[in-house]
Chain A
Amino acid sequence: MFANLGTLLRYRGLIQSLVARDLKARYRGSVLGFVWSFVNPLLLLSIYSFVFSKVLPATDSRTRPYAVFMFCGLLPWTWFAASLTDATSSLISGGNLIKKVLFPAEVLPIVSVLTNMVHFLLGLLILAAFMIGFHHYPHAAALPWFPVVIIVQLIFTLGLALALSALTVHFRDIRDLLANVLTLWFFATPILYPYFLPTVERFLWLFRLNPFYHLAVSYQEILFFDRFGHVRSLLLLGLLSIAVFLAGYWLFDRLRDSFAEVV
């Protein structure tokens, strides 16, 4: 397993060019092209902020400007959810490669995660624009933690993506199941609502079991609220993420030989 992990480094050129290919191919033939990388989150943002500031106005003054608050959690969530969705079908749609070319299969789910990470990073530019527009800036002292959260999320997502992509080869139901699980997970995570709601605090122990809770809280604290007090949980989650990654890779490695035959 660790030998295989090592070879992964050798494939970074391949991963790089596949990510570039996916980004290029995704918008090929559309009029706006790459602009969609910006327009998509922007539209999503407008919908949610319209609903939650006009239709169901958020009462808590601490979450104003609401658009900026919500975007801090929504952006990483979109990265996470889209990565898993893409990764689950990556091995099946890349079946030709696995069956006909000597090809390291783990590259496919990893590429799914990284492609969506690029979209996430581009989305940060929109977030920055909104911050400037609303004159709401993050505190400089907390900002060094921002890359740490991203790395923790990356490792966590990679681990899940590897495990899910490998299992989906055998159980196609995961694809359908996942869509519903992700919807549930989205609403169970403080993204649209702040983590200090009374309801959340009452069931805090339950929320704390949700790994994405810690990520969302970290993002919001670093980018929106001026204090970052979630460090310990984040670091614990970092350790957990490494465990998830190793477990995911282990499962992937165990099922690897069956891919070429089952896909």
Chain B
Amino acid sequence: MTSAIELVNVSKVYRRYSGRHFATLKSALLKRSLLRDLRPSEAFVALKDVSFSVDKGSTVGVIGRNGSGKSTALKLVAGITKPSAGTVRVTGRVSALIELGAGFHPEISGRENVFINGIMLGLSKRQIEERFDDIVDFAELREFIDAPVKTYSSGMYMRLGFAVAIHVEPEVLLVDEVLAVGDESFTHKCLDKFGELHRQGKTVLIVTHSLGLVERLCDDAVWLDGGQKQLEGDPKRVIGGYLTSVEESERQQMAAATSKALQSAGPNQPLVNMFQATEGRWGSGEIQITSVEVVGQDEQASFVFHSGDRVSVRLRVHAAQPTSDFVFGVSVFNSDGVCCFGTNTDIENMSSERLEGDGEVAFAIDHLDLVEGTYKLDVAVHRRDGAPYDYHRQLYTFRVKSRTPDVGIFKPAHRWTFSTNIRFK
């Protein structure tokens, strides 16, 4: 198969121009540094040695987090910017849906804008005349086509922009996240149009954060991260790789949040009203919690878990003096500060007998039945009368991910049953 788009070792360096805020024309002329000032001084590498190709007639999705270079890649393919190194080859007429209706002039009518926009996208006047009715019908704007564009709602504006761009009948269509803004029915219409283009053997390159769209629509996916290509190929596999890396970075964020919370909360802080404090650590210190870990199914400490995982909270404690009066407690809060669950050894009728030196406590949850979200942990050791030895309030953050976007707090194990006359596909 021949490729319609080919990037070979492409790098893009965005240049920042030195002290542009200070360098006026006058000083540039005085210092005779006009051309020198126009040269870059600081560089930001948006893409680094990226190669991938898109076969003619295939639909390819580019995914990656914000700032990964996706849009830069698309602009390079569109020819709006030039690569700093490497080559970009595109065969066939390109139409880029980067910003819908980018060239619209608000004061003149939709009709006139269709013509001017069409000419900007490379059509001739006659070609636009031929397609004019299709464009207007697709945009569903027949009654408004002679009104100035400034009177359009943003939805109308985008529909018209999309309609013009799609009727350029490109051989290569580039789409940058434009579907995120339409209403439901228009999005469906656009997706249908993509399907139609696909059947007609047109090449489509989509940049999007909607992984579902990539999985549904694309033959291939490319995952960019930090300006470099991480994976390319089957959408399911690429999306899987991407999600794993997102989890990893979330884990790092949680770890950073936790260590920051711990740093600001030293031991033996004065006793504050523990029912009002949102975050912190306090207690007499006779027994100290020296470390807290949340451990997943793989026995590794982590910060990101999946709904339904087996997890356990592991505490290391140290008692300065042997004692017989101690209670361990654990509570889980969601991001709204709602206590999802809390318990301690006392209310579960375990009467303490002896704690001496170093010890370990594990609180195991067989099924973490929480919906997706960020949660915080309270862990504590205190006397039976409630006086704290060491109380850690919401110092530990972890994240629960779920395959289904269900709502609420608690996600009980559940199943649906239906009578035989109710069917699902």
Contacts and interface: CB of A to CB of B under 8 A. Distances in A.
Interface of A: 13-14, 17-18, 21, 24-25, 28-29, 96-103, 167, 170-171, 173-174, 177, 255, 257-258, 260-262
A174 B98 contact: no
B99 interface: yes
B82 interface: yes
Contact of B80 (A29, A167, A177, A260): A260
3 A-B pairs with least C-beta separation:
A100-B99, A25-B107, A100-B102
A96 B99 contact: yes
Contact of B38 (A28, A102, A258): A258
B241 interface: no
Contact of B98 (A17, A24, A28, A100): A100
B15 interface: yes
B8 interface: no
B137 to A, nearest CB: 23
A261 B25 contact: no
Interface string B83-107: 0000000000010101100110101
Interface string B109-125: 00010011001110011
Contacts of B41: none
Nearest to B84: A257
Given A100-B96, A260-B80, 12 more contacts: A13-B119, A17-B119, A21-B116, A28-B148, A100-B102, A101-B80, A101-B103, A102-B94, A103-B120, A170-B20, A255-B38, A261-B81
Interface of B: 14-15, 17, 20, 23-26, 28, 37-38, 75, 78-82, 94, 96, 98-99, 102-103, 105, 107-108, 112, 115-116, 119-121, 124-125, 148
A170 B38 contact: yes
Contact of B120 (A24, A97, A258): A97
A96 B157 CA distance: 15
Contacts of A25: 105, 107-108
A18 B25 contact: no
Nearest to A15: B119
Contacts of B119: 13-14, 17
Contacts of A103: 103, 120
Contact of A260 (B17, B81, B121): B81
Nearest to B25: A171
A101 to B, nearest CB: 5
Contacts of A98: 80
Q: Of residues A97, A98, A101, A170, which shows the largest number of chain B Cβ atoms within 10 Å of its Cβ?
A: A101
Given A25-B107, A101-B120, A262 B17 contact: yes
A257 B81 contact: yes
Contacts of A28: 107-108, 148
Contact of A13 (B37, B38, B107, B124): B124
B41 to A, nearest CB: 13
Given A13-B119, A102-B80, A260-B81, A24 B112 contact: yes
Given A13-B125, A18-B116, A101-B103, A260 B75 contact: yes
A21 B120 CA distance: 13
Nearest to A177: B25
Given A171-B24, A171-B28, A21 B105 contact: yes
Given A13-B124, A21-B116, A173 B24 contact: yes
Contacts of B125: 13
Contacts of B121: 101
